[in-house]
Amino acid sequence: MSEWKVDPALLSAALSETTVAYEPLTTAVTEESVAAIFGGLTWGSWVTSCVSQALSEVLAEQQTVNLANISNHIAAGITGVGNSAWALQQGQEDMAATFQSEMSAAAVDGDFSFFEAHGYRGE
């Protein structure tokens, strides 16, 4: 059996700081902000319409997906690490491993239903 050394105060502080830094990301690119960008391009009529169309395609195909992936990974990390640390403190190494596995899955697909069903930090 391996030995785990978790400093709860340091871990809690790191997760809190990460959560605070993550919150602005969830609203960084919205439909409204993208619409405002496109609105600014309408001044040139047909001259700038190709720019608007190209920007639309890039944002729709790339950035929205990339932003969602980044957001999923951060949220999954916060949730999974917090739950894993809690389970380890309770002596539940199998549950800690489960939280880690579910964290990895949630980072990929954005499905946090496991954590919703089992509560955060065992609650």
Distance CA 120, CA 75 (A): 12
User: Over the stretch 34-69, which tens digit does the pLDDT of each residue have?
Assistant: 677 666 666 666 666 677 677 777 666 666 677 778
Token pair recorded at residue 77: 């990390």
| Residues 92-118: tens digit of each pLDDT | 888 888 888 888 898 888 888 888 887
pLDDT in tens, 68-93: 788 888 888 888 888 888 887 777 88
pLDDT at 44: 65
How confident is the model at residue 60, as a pLDDT? 66
The tokens for 85 are 């640390």
What's residue 122's pLDDT? 42
